């Protein structure tokens, strides 16, 4: 295993009053060093839950019930909370949509930046303060020295987002997970933050998982794209292939629903219907009630994941129909 991250046959279930509900259904993927994998899908597709499971931050009623998550040679799915805590902010970092979930409102920016450096990098307080100033400068915060003594509420939303990114990058993580970190920001700041993540990625060599529903962001930053639907991975490809030759009807629908600035006559075809809820067992393909191409087999038999090329996978029966030669199937669920 030479990848940075290897997720194999991951299954996540939630214990609820209505019973045990599957949120992530047998998914496998990997992330390489210096690679950006975008996970896309509507809300409820399982993309955020997948990221939280890698961080060891599933809600308390969520369990990994099957499969493994390897970061280099460590199996994260078997780790105790204190071991995960050691990895977070060290090898693993996460940035969230709402910075206030990551920042502590009662502590100064300086304290929050220094702490991980003192704990994980054995820096003295003075060294950590100096490194904090450099970090804030790197994420484009003006007058970084002054900011060390301020509290999160004294900064604007965009500045808080930058502080959170500085915190996430403080220990030069091997893997950075970003869950819709730019959704709440205006377009200019969003672009600056994407550039920043990209620059730091080549500098540190970290892998990035970027969770988003914005295909414009995907086009800009992804190396590979993983499309999730109803807790499953339904298509996985490098970014050029996904945009030029999407195969799964759901992916096509996602791309069709993006407005085209160069072609105002293009209709915005939002996918009709909605994502199945967790407890909805749908026979055959989980997308079939919404799929304009659904065939008889789709209603009866779950499609396997077809390996179209060595870098392109689609979990859809059309793949079998469209190919004269049967292609490989990598999972037979
Ligand atoms: Fe549509 Fe059938 Fe493909 Fe599912 S398997 S996406 S229902 S064509
Ligand atoms: Mg989400």
Atom of ligand 1 nearest to the CA of 295: 2
* 329: confidence class by pLDDT, cuts 50, 70, 90: low
Judged against a pLDDT cut of 90, whether residue 31 lies above it is answered with yes
Mean pLDDT of the chain: 88
To test the pocket of ligand 1, the residue of 318, 323, 333 to mutate (highest count of ligand atoms within 8 Å of its CB) is: 318
Between 42-56, 59-73, 288-302, 313-327, the lowest mean confidence (pLDDT) is in: 313-327
Distance of CA 128 to the CA centre of its chain: 29
Those residues whose C-beta lies under 8 Å from the C-beta of residue 103, and which sit 6 or more positions away, are 109, 112, 152, 160, 163, 164, 167
To test the pocket of ligand 1, the residue of 298, 302, 308 to mutate (highest count of ligand atoms within 8 Å of its CB) is: 298
Q: How far, in Å, CA of 29 to CA of 67, rounded? A: 12
Whole-number Å distance, alpha carbon 46 to ligand 2 midpoint, is 8
Judged against a pLDDT cut of 70, whether residue 326 lies above it is answered with no
187-241: per-residue pLDDT in tens? 777 777 788 788 878 888 899 999 988 888 899 899 999 999 999 999 999 999 9
Q: Is the CB of 298 under 6 A from ligand 1?
A: yes
- What is the set of domains in the chain, with CATH numbers? 35-59+79-91+174-283 (3.40.50.300), 99-172 (no CATH)
User: Look-up: residue for tokens 């303060």?
Assistant: 129
To test the pocket of ligand 1, the residue of 250, 289, 303 to mutate (highest count of ligand atoms within 8 Å of its CB) is: 303
Burial of 40 (0-12, 13-18, 19+ CB in 10 A): buried
pLDDT at residue 2, as a whole number: 65
Judged against a pLDDT cut of 60, whether residue 255 lies above it is answered with yes
* 333: confidence class by pLDDT, cuts 50, 70, 90: very low
pLDDT at residue 260, as a whole number: 59
Q: Which of 107-111, 114-118, 322-326 holds the top average pLDDT? A: 107-111
Closest ligand (CA of 211): 2
Cβ count near 104 (within 10 Å) = 13
Q: Is the CB of 291 under 6 A from ligand 1?
A: yes
10 or 261, which is more confident: 10
User: Look-up: residue for tokens 């790197």?
Assistant: 138
Mind spelling out the 3-state secondary structure of the chain? CCCCEEEEEEEEEEEECCEEEEEEEEEEEEECCCCEEEEECCCCCCHHHHHHHHHCCCCCCEEEEEEEEEECCEEHHHCCHHHHHHHECCCEEEECCCHHHCCCCCCCHHHHHHHHHHHHHCCCHHHHHHHHHHHHHHCCCCCHHHHCCCCHHHCCHHHHHHHHHHHHHCCCCCEEEEECCCCCCCHHHHHHHHHHHHHHHHHHCCEEEEEECCHHHHHHHCCEEEEEECCEEEEEEEHHHHHHCCCCHHHHHHHHCCCCCCCCCCCCCCCCCCCCCCCCCCCCCCCHHHCCCCCHHHHHCCCCEEEEECCEEECCCHHHHHCCCCCEEEECC
pLDDT at residue 120, as a whole number: 83
Those residues whose C-beta lies under 8 Å from the C-beta of residue 114, and which sit 6 or more positions away, are 123, 125, 128, 129, 132
64-86: per-residue pLDDT in tens? 999 999 999 999 988 998 999 88
């Amino acid at each position: 295993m030479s990848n940075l991250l290897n997720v194999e046959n991951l299954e996540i279930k939630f214990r609820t009053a209505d019973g045990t509900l599957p949120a992530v259904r047998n998914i496998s993927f990997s992330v390489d060093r210096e690679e950006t994998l975008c996970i896309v899908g509507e809300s409820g597709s399982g993309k955020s839950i997948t990221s939280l499971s890698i961080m060891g931050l599933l809600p308390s009623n969520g369990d990994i019930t099957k499969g493994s998550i390897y970061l280099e040679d460590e199996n994260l799915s078997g780790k105790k909370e204190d071991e995960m805590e050691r990895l977070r902010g060290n090898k693993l970092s996460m940035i969230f949509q709402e910075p206030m979930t990551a920042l502590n409102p009662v502590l100064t920016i300086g304290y929050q930046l220094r702490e991980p450096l003192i704990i994980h990098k054995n820096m003295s307080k003075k060294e950590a303060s100096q490194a904090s100033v450099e970090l804030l400068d790197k994420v484009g915060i003006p007058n970084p020295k002054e900011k060390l003594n301020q509290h999160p509420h004294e900064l604007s939303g965009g500045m808080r987002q930058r502080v959170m990114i500085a915190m996430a990058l403080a220990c030069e993580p091997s893997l950075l997970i970003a869950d819709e970190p730019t959704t709440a920001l205006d377009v200019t700041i969003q672009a600056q933050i994407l550039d920043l993540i990209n620059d730091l990625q080549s500098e540190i060599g970290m892998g990035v998982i970027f969770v988003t529903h914005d295909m414009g962001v995907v086009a800009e930053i992804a190396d590979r794209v993983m499309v999730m639907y109803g807790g499953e991975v339904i298509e996985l490809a490098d970014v050029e292939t996904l945009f030029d030759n999407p195969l799964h009807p759901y992916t096509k629908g996602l791309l069709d629903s993006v407005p085209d600035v160069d072609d105002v006559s293009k209709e915005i075809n939002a996918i009709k219907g909605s994502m199945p809820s967790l407890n909805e067992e749908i026979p055959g393909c989980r997308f079939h009630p919404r799929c304009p191409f659904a065939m008889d087999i789709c209603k009866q038999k779950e499609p396997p994941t077809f390996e179209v090329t060595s870098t392109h996978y689609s979990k859809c029966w059309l793949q079998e129909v469209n190919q004269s030669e049967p292609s490989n199937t990598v999972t037979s669920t």
